[in-house]
Amino acid sequence: MENLQNIIALFDIEGTPVEISPLGNGLINDTYIVKTAEPEAPSYVLQRINHNIFTNVDGLQNNIVAVTNHLRKKLAEEGADDIDRRVLTFIPLKDGSGKTYTCLDGNYWRVSRFIPDAFTFDTVDAHYSRMAGEAFGNFQAQLVDIPDTLVETIPDFHNMEFRLKQLDDAIKANAAGRLAEVQPIVDDLLRRSEYMTQAERLFRDKKLPKRVCHCDTKVNNMMFDADGNVLCVIDLDTVMPSFIFSDYGDFLRTAANTEAEDSPELDKVEFRMDIFKAFTEGYLKSAAGFLTDTEISLLPYAAALFPYMQAVRFLTDYINGDTYYKTTYPEHNLVRTRNQVRLLESIEKNMPEMTRFIDAKMAEIANSSK
Ligand code: GN1
Ligand code: MG
């Protein structure tokens, strides 16, 4: 194990590091909290970046610095207080290079300020969903005019055409001999492919923009203060240009499912319209001002797209013999696939009601600004 004290010593932090211990339970990066001796000096978060998944660490860290600098500028312009708790701060190296990461023995490390008195949650009620919606909408709104060009830290991450191509490749190879067993699910998914790839076609026709999105909008990627107010959005590794559907759809995929994504109890899987309504209301409050009519009219599509994309990704991995997602038993990816298909079916039933709800909210917003 690397000497963490030697690594933190390379960064331009305030105070003397005295204690370094593991923090949180992230699945991708390794995270530590660094406490300092002086009471007035902040604590820090030291992270090893998983460069097997994020192969372009330089591009990734440039994205994050551009985004956090822009958010800090916006907060300062608004006259916000407590800015250090409302946006992450990455610490440069002492070597004067200006870089915010270092590579030692093939491992990449970075340091940010620890945000004190802040909390995250794994499940949400309608109230937190509304706040999460507003916070993610706000995050996108503040980044609309970012001058930097960001890289895709995982190329084609949420590109549905690409995910279907991967499924097609898996079907052709049938590497694990599992195709016959899942053929009915393959057919069921493929009959929706035209509808589900519409975002890519609209993008090529210049009718749909890409914007800077978070692309991992699980609720536990948001920090709240002790009073339940949103402080900031964290886990910025996947921040990249994408359709706004990524943030809107992936939150609902995780938060509005009555069951966990790998629950085998398919009869209990349902899409929670109370979470949908609360999240959408919060999101439109902060995002309606910059969204185009096309983006707004496709929000129900976004809600369907993400369980669909996830079903395609899980099924692809099952057919390939479980090479991407961690599994704990042989049918795990198949169970996940069935769960996401069931969620998709529940969403499809609710789409007319979603459209009505969004139309009504937009009418309210238009009236209130008259
Ligand atoms: C992966 O490991 P986690 O939960 O952060 C995946 C997401 C999927 C999710 C499904 C880099 O995210 O895209 O939605 O699993 N992340 C990557 O649970 O592939
Ligand atoms: Mg993550």
pLDDT by residue (tens digit) across 154-201?
Answer: 999 999 999 999 999 999 999 999 999 999 999 999 999 999 999 999
Q: With a 6 A CB cut-off, is 27 part of the ligand 1 pocket?
A: yes
What is the average per-residue pLDDT within 322-328?
A: 90
Q: With a 6 A CB cut-off, is 53 part of the ligand 1 pocket?
A: yes
User: Is pLDDT at 27 greater than 80 in this prediction?
Assistant: no
> Which residue among 28, 218, 254 has the greatest number of ligand 1 atoms within 8 angstroms of its CB, and so is best to mutate?
28
Q: Which ligand approaches the C-alpha of residue 250 most closely?
A: 1
- Rounded to two decimals, the pTM is 0.91
Query: Is residue 257 within 8 Å of residue 218, measured between CB atoms?
Result: no
Ligand 1 atom nearest residue 253's Cα: 14
User: Is pLDDT at 124 greater than 80 in this prediction?
Assistant: yes
Q: With a 6 A CB cut-off, is 180 part of the ligand 1 pocket?
A: no
Rounded distance from Cα 178 to ligand 1 centre (Å): 23
Rounded distance from Cα 338 to ligand 2 centre (Å): 23
Q: For position 218, what pLDDT does the model report? A: 84
Instruction: Give the residue whose CA is nearest to atom 16 of ligand 1.
Output: 216
Q: Which residues contact 263 (CB under 8 A, 6 or more apart)?
A: 269, 335, 339
Computed over every residue of the chain, the mean pLDDT equals: 95
Rounded distance from Cα 60 to ligand 2 centre (Å): 14
**Residues, beta carbon < 5 Å, ion ligand 2:** 216, 235
What is the average per-residue pLDDT within 307-315?
A: 98
Rounded distance from Cα 138 to ligand 1 centre (Å): 23
> Which residue among 216, 234, 328 has the greatest number of ligand 1 atoms within 8 angstroms of its CB, and so is best to mutate?
216
Q: With a 6 A CB cut-off, is 326 part of the ligand 1 pocket?
A: no
β-strand partners of 33: 21, 45
First-to-final CA distance of the chain:
62
> Which residue among 153, 238, 310, 332 has the greatest number of ligand 1 atoms within 8 angstroms of its CB, and so is best to mutate?
310
What is the average per-residue pLDDT within 210-223?
A: 91
What is the average per-residue pLDDT within 352-365?
A: 97
Q: For position 90, what pLDDT does the model report? A: 97
Q: Which residues contact 294 (CB under 8 A, 6 or more apart)?
A: 202, 207, 208
Q: With a 6 A CB cut-off, is 122 part of the ligand 1 pocket?
A: no
Ligand 1 atom nearest residue 53's Cα: 11
What is the average per-residue pLDDT within 6-12?
A: 96
Q: Which ligand approaches the C-alpha of residue 235 most closely?
A: 2
Rounded distance from Cα 183 to ligand 1 centre (Å): 25
Instruction: Give the residue whose CA is nearest to atom 4 of ligand 1.
Output: 27
Grade residue 1 by pLDDT with cuts at 50, 70 and 90. Answer: very low
Instruction: Give the residue whose CA is nearest to atom 3 of ligand 1.
Output: 27
In this predicted model, what pLDDT tens digit does every residue of 69-98 receive, in sequence order?
A: 999 999 999 999 999 999 999 999 999 999
Instruction: Give the residue whose CA is nearest to atom 15 of ligand 1.
Output: 325
